[in-house]
Amino acid sequence: MPMTPSPGCGSTTATASRPWAITTAPEAAFGRALALDPALLPAQFNLANLLRDRDRPGEAEEGYRRVLALDPGFVRAHTNLGNLLRSRGRAAEAAAVHRQAAALAPGEAAVHVNLGNALRDAGELPQAIACYRQALRLDPRSVRAAAPLARLLYDRGDEAERPELLALYRRLTVLEPANPEHHNALGVVLREAGETARALSAFRRALAIEPDHAAALNNLGTLLRMLRRPQEGLPLLRRAVVCTRSPASPRSTWPTSCTIWDR
């Protein structure tokens, strides 16, 4: 159905003097504000957020860049532009934008998390680890920093970092005690550290939260077999196969990073 222009907003087609295509009531409201004052930052920023939420990333990117042209120190616009670029697979560009946000707001944990996410996606893993560590120094309760940091440290496999890795997963099980992924991951690290009893406990805790957690079933079953307790381990391994094949099976991998948007 054709869109009817809102009163006072003119055509629904963007022009050089009015760059936004007005297609919905919220956009029309922002359009009226921008028609009165094209440099009105809150309207520019909120319209870019709306376009992002409506899956119009190209227009949203243009909007954030307009905001930053007017105010290069607008941290929230740097944050959202960086997150948008990362969501579109442009990690290196996203990292450059998030670096500006981190320089402008070095005391905010979220900007370091977002920079870490972009650097990780760009393959700059040591720098990403440094960013997550800085975020945790600023906010020790940040799950968004602790979870990806733990995964990167596990993948790096540096024995000297094992105490930090164990501490991170223990912290995650305290911060999010109902998340089976954290307990399962803690069990993996404990098993590799030779702490068998604690590993068994961690896997069992994951299964107490999510009985069909395929990875925890497999890990617990495998460990029990290694301990020569096949009568306990084999049923768990059979269940793991069934759960893995089920479309409703829960995630069986590690926690992923979270993007922190600004409004």
- How far apart CA 59 and CA 49 sit, in angstroms, is 10
Note the pLDDT of residue 230. 92
Residue 5 belongs to a domain:
no
Residue 257 belongs to a domain:
no
Q: Cβ(85)–Cβ(94) under 8 Å? A: yes
* DSSP state letters, the chain: -PPPPPTTS--SS--SSS-S---SHHHHHHHHHHHH-TT-HHHHHHHHHHHHHTT-HHHHHHHHHHHHHH-TT-HHHHHHHHHHHHHTT-HHHHHHHHHHHHHH-TT-HHHHHHHHHHHHHTT-HHHHHHHHHHHHHH-TT-HHHHHHHHHHHHHHT-GGGHHHHHHHHHHHHHHSTT-HHHHHHHHHHHHHTT-HHHHHHHHHHHHHH-TT-HHHHHHHHHHHHHTT-HHHHHHHHHHHHHHHHSTTPPP-S----------
Residue 216 belongs to a domain:
yes
Note the pLDDT of residue 27. 52
Same domain for 170 and 239, yes or no, is yes
Same domain for 137 and 199, yes or no, is no
User: What is the number of structural domains in the chain?
Assistant: 3
Note the pLDDT of residue 252. 40
Q: What is the CATH number of the domain that holds 198?
A: 1.25.40.10
257: which residues sit within 8 A by CB, 6+ positions away?
A: 113, 116, 117, 120, 144, 147, 148
Same domain for 202 and 230, yes or no, is yes
Q: Could you say which of 114, 135, 156 is where a domain stops? A: 156
Same domain for 182 and 142, yes or no, is no
Residue 116 belongs to a domain:
yes
Note the pLDDT of residue 246. 57
- pTM tops 0.85: no
Same domain for 172 and 235, yes or no, is yes
Note the pLDDT of residue 244. 80
Residue 115 belongs to a domain:
yes
Same domain for 151 and 165, yes or no, is no
Residue 61 belongs to a domain:
yes
Same domain for 114 and 173, yes or no, is no
Same domain for 33 and 54, yes or no, is yes
171: which residues sit within 8 A by CB, 6+ positions away?
A: 140, 146
Q: Which domain holds residue 43?
A: 23-71
Residue 190 belongs to a domain:
yes
Same domain for 133 and 167, yes or no, is no
Same domain for 38 and 95, yes or no, is no
Note the pLDDT of residue 5. 29
Residue 95 belongs to a domain:
yes
Same domain for 64 and 107, yes or no, is no
Q: Could you say which of 107, 134, 156 is where a domain stops? A: 156
Note the pLDDT of residue 26. 56
Note the pLDDT of residue 200. 97
Note the pLDDT of residue 11. 30
Note the pLDDT of residue 20. 37
Same domain for 141 and 105, yes or no, is yes
pLDDT in tens, the chain (263 residues): 333 323 233 333 333 333 334 345 555 544 544 444 455 678 889 889 998 999 999 999 999 999 999 899 999 999 999 999 999 999 999 999 999 999 999 999 999 999 999 999 999 999 999 999 999 999 999 999 999 999 999 999 999 999 999 999 999 999 999 999 999 999 999 999 999 999 999 999 999 999 999 999 999 999 999 999 999 999 999 999 998 865 444 344 443 344 445 55
